[in-house]
Amino acid sequence: MSQPKSKWTPGLIGRTAAAWFIALLLFFPLIFMGVTAFKTELQAIAVPSLWIFEPTLENFEIVNERSDYAQFAWNSVVTSVLSTALGLLIAAPAAYSMAFSPTKGTNGLLLWMLSTKFMPAVGALLPIYVIFQTLNLLDTKTALVIIFTMMNLPIMVWMLYTYFKDIPQEILEAARMDGASVWDEFKHVLLPLGIGGIASTGLLCLVLAWNEAFWALNLGAAEAGTLATMMVSYSSPEGLFWSKLSAASLMAIAPIVVLGWFSQKQLVQGLTFGAVK
Amino acid sequence: MSSQTQSSRFIPRLLLSPAVITLLIWMIVPLALTIYFSSIFYNLMQPDVTGFAGWMNYEFMITNPAFSEAIWNTLVLLAATVAITVIGGLGIALLINEAFPGRGIVRLLLISPFFVMPTVNALLWKHMMMNPIYGVLAQVWTFFGLTPINWLQDLPLFSIIIMISWQWLPFACLILMTSLQSMDREQLEAAEMDGANYWQKFRYMYLPHLARPISVVIMIEVIFLLSVFAEIFTTTAGGPGTQSTNLAYLIFNEALQAFDIGVASAGAVFAIILANIVAIFLIRIIGKNLEK
C-alpha cells in the first residue's frame, strides 16, 4: 500500500480508538485469566480486582503436581499431531484427484463429504463407544487419533481442494508431457505450489483437534485424556480457586494460541474455503 | 491410447478411494447402529429387558417435555450466535479494514479467542466473568450502580450464547476482513467520485462482495454450533431445569446419565434429522453463493 502517511484526522482517531477498544474488550477475559494465574487465591477474588501485586508461580507448580500436566499435554500433542498428519495423508490425494481430474460427480462428492460434518457427534457417540469398547480401544490415544482424523477429514479435503484448484492445470500437464509420474507431480509441482494450502489446512486441523472436547471427554477419561479433559476437573468445586483454574487454563491454551498467533495469516487464508481469491 | 485413458481414470480413483471409503464407513456404520439401537430395548440399568421396541423409544423421547425445549434451544443458540457473530464480525471487519496505528496487534488480539478451547472458554466465563459476587461483570454492574446479574442462573441460555459468540466472533471477523482486503480499490474510489455515500457503497459494493465469505462463515458455524456440548457440560449442565439443554446435551444425558441407549439413540436420530433439515435449508440458500 503506497498511500501517503495518514495524518491524524478526526476520522482516523475515532477509528483507531474504536478498534483498539473493541479488540481489548474481546481480549480482556484472556488478560484477566493471564494475570490471575500469577495471583494467590486470596488476591484472585479481591473485589475490586487487583492489578498490582507480587506475582507468584506457585499455582503452576500446584497444577502440575495435582493434574499431571505433562501427561495431558503429551496426549494433546500426540493426538492432534498424529490425527493431522494422518488426515493430510488421506485428504491430499483425494483433493489432488478432485482438483486435477474432475468428473461430473466431483461437486456432488465434495458436498457429500461436507455433509458428513452435519452428522452431529452425539449421533455417532453411542455406536462409536460400543465399537471401541469391543475393540478395547476406549481411553486410548489410538481411539482419539482415529476420531480426530475422521472429524477433520471433510474439512481437510475441502480446504486442500480449493487450494489445489488454484494451481494452473497447464503446469501439471507440462509435467505429464515430460513423463512425470504421479509421485513426481506431487513432489515437484503440487508440494512446492500447494505448500501454503497444506500448511494452513494442517494448522487449522491441529487447532481443532487440540481444542476438541466432546470426544475427548467421552472417550478419553483417565489414560488418554487431553488438556481439554484436564480442564473439566477444574470445573467445580475447584473452579472457585481462580488462580489455579487460571494457571491450568493458561497452560492448556498457551501452546495453541501462540502457534495461532504466529500463523494467523496463513490460517485465515485457509479458513476462507476459497471464498476469497 | 485406450490404456492411457484407463490408467488416467484409474489413478485419480485410487487416490480418491481412501478418503471416500473411510468417510463412508464413518457415516454409515454409526448411522446404521444408531438406527438399530433406537429400535430395541437397550437400557444398561435393565439388562434383562431386551428385544424389539418398535417406536417406543421414539415415543418416549418425543413425549419427554425436555425434548421440544431442547430442539428450540438448539435452534435459538444457533440463530443467535450466527446473527451476533456475522453482524458483529462485519462491523469490526469494516472498522479495521483501513490502515490505522497498531492494526497488526489489533488483529492478533481479535483472533485470540478463536484458539481458546471450549472447556477453558466455559470455565473462564462461568467463574471469572459471570460469577455474581466476585466476577468481572458483577464488578462492572456494581460500578454503574446496577444489581449484578446471576448470569448462569437467570439467563442460562443467553450466557452460553455469549461464550460461544466470544469464540466465533473472531472467526467471522477475520474471514470477512480477509475478504474485504481483496476488494477492488479503484472501483471503490470511482464510486466515491460519483458521490456514493457510505450506505450506498455498503449496499452495492461491500455486501455483494461479501456474500460468498458470509455464506462460508454461516456454513462452518452451523456445522460446529448444532452440536455445542462442552460449554453446556462445563457450565450449566443443561440447567437450571432444562433451560439450557440443547439436543446434543439431552442425548448425552439420556445415554450416560439415564443409561438408556435405546432412547438416547432415538434422540440421536432426531438430531441427525434436524441437522439434515438445517443443512438442506442452508445449502438451498447459500449454495448459490458457494457455486459461483
Regarding whether A45 and A140 lie in a shared domain, the answer is: no
B263 and B60 Cβ atoms separated by less than 8 Å: yes
Q: What is residue B183's predicted lDDT score, i.e. its pLDDT?
A: 80
Cα dihedral: A147, A151, A153, A159 (round 10): -150
CATH code for the domain in which residue B282 is found:
1.10.3720.10
Q: What is residue A275's predicted lDDT score, i.e. its pLDDT?
A: 57
pLDDT higher than 50, residue B187: yes
Distance CA A115, CA A270 (A): 19
Chain A residues whose beta carbon lies within 8 Å of the beta carbon of residue B159? none
Element holding B190 (H helix, E strand): helix B185-193
Q: Is residue A228 part of a domain?
A: yes
Distance CA B183, CA B206 (A): 8
- B18 reaches A (C-beta below 8 A): yes
Q: Is residue A258 part of a domain?
A: no
Q: Residue A16 is nearest to which of B101, B134, B226, comparing CB atoms?
A: B101
Give the confidence band of A272 by pLDDT, cuts at 50, 70, 90. low
Neighbour tally for B82: CB within 10 Å: 18
Q: Is residue A160 part of a domain?
A: yes
CATH code for the domain in which residue A159 is found:
1.10.3720.10
Residue (of B98, B103, B281, B114) closest to A271 by Cα position: B114
- A13 reaches B (C-beta below 8 A): no
pLDDT higher than 50, residue A126: yes
B100 and A12 Cβ atoms separated by less than 8 Å: yes
Domain count, chain A: 2
Regarding whether A200 and A104 lie in a shared domain, the answer is: yes
Query: Left, alpha or beta for A139 (phi > 0: left; psi -120 to 50: alpha)?
Result: left
Residues of the domain holding B271 = 19-291
Q: Is residue A187 part of a domain?
A: yes
Q: Is residue A239 part of a domain?
A: no
Highest mean pLDDT among A1-15, A250-264, B31-45: A250-264
Regarding whether A87 and A52 lie in a shared domain, the answer is: no
Q: Is residue B134 part of a domain?
A: yes
Residues of the domain holding A45 = 10-57
Between A and B, how many residue pairs show a Cβ–Cβ distance under 8 A? Answer: 283
Regarding whether A79 and A23 lie in a shared domain, the answer is: no
Regarding whether A170 and A127 lie in a shared domain, the answer is: yes
Domain count, chain B: 1
Q: Is residue A94 part of a domain?
A: yes
Q: Is residue B3 part of a domain?
A: no
Interface touch B124/A29, C-beta < 8 Å? yes
- B108 reaches A (C-beta below 8 A): yes
Regarding whether A199 and A161 lie in a shared domain, the answer is: yes
Global ipTM: 0.86
- The residues in A 130-159 lying below 8 A from B, measured between CB atoms, are 130-131, 150, 153-154, 157
Regarding whether A175 and A53 lie in a shared domain, the answer is: no
Regarding whether A180 and A45 lie in a shared domain, the answer is: no
- Cell digits for A52? 498490582
- A106 reaches B (C-beta below 8 A): no
Strand partners, B43: B260
Regarding whether A91 and A51 lie in a shared domain, the answer is: no
Distance to chain A for B269, nearest Cα, Å? 7
pLDDT higher than 80, residue B257: no
Regarding whether A227 and A200 lie in a shared domain, the answer is: yes
Number of H helices, E strands in chain B: 14, 0
Q: What is residue A237's predicted lDDT score, i.e. its pLDDT?
A: 64
Q: What is residue A61's predicted lDDT score, i.e. its pLDDT?
A: 86
Distance to chain A for B268, nearest Cα, Å? 4
Give the confidence band of A84 by pLDDT, cuts at 50, 70, 90. very high
- The residues in A 59-78 lying below 8 A from B, measured between CB atoms, are none
Distance CA B157, CA A125 (A): 24
Q: What is residue B3's predicted lDDT score, i.e. its pLDDT?
A: 45
Q: Is residue B153 part of a domain?
A: yes
CB contact set of B6 (below 8 Å; sequence gap of 6+): none
Q: What is residue A5's predicted lDDT score, i.e. its pLDDT?
A: 55
Residue (of A145, A156, A152, A150) closest to A219 by Cα position: A145
Q: Is residue A99 part of a domain?
A: yes
Strand partners, B219: none
Which of A232, A254, A269 delimits the end of a domain?
Answer: A232
Give the confidence band of B34 by pLDDT, cuts at 50, 70, 90. confident
Regarding whether A180 and A108 lie in a shared domain, the answer is: yes
Residue A47, SS3 per DSSP: coil
Q: Above pLDDT 70, what percent of chain A?
A: 93
Q: Is residue A243 part of a domain?
A: no
Mean residue pLDDT across chain A: 84
Regarding whether A204 and A87 lie in a shared domain, the answer is: yes
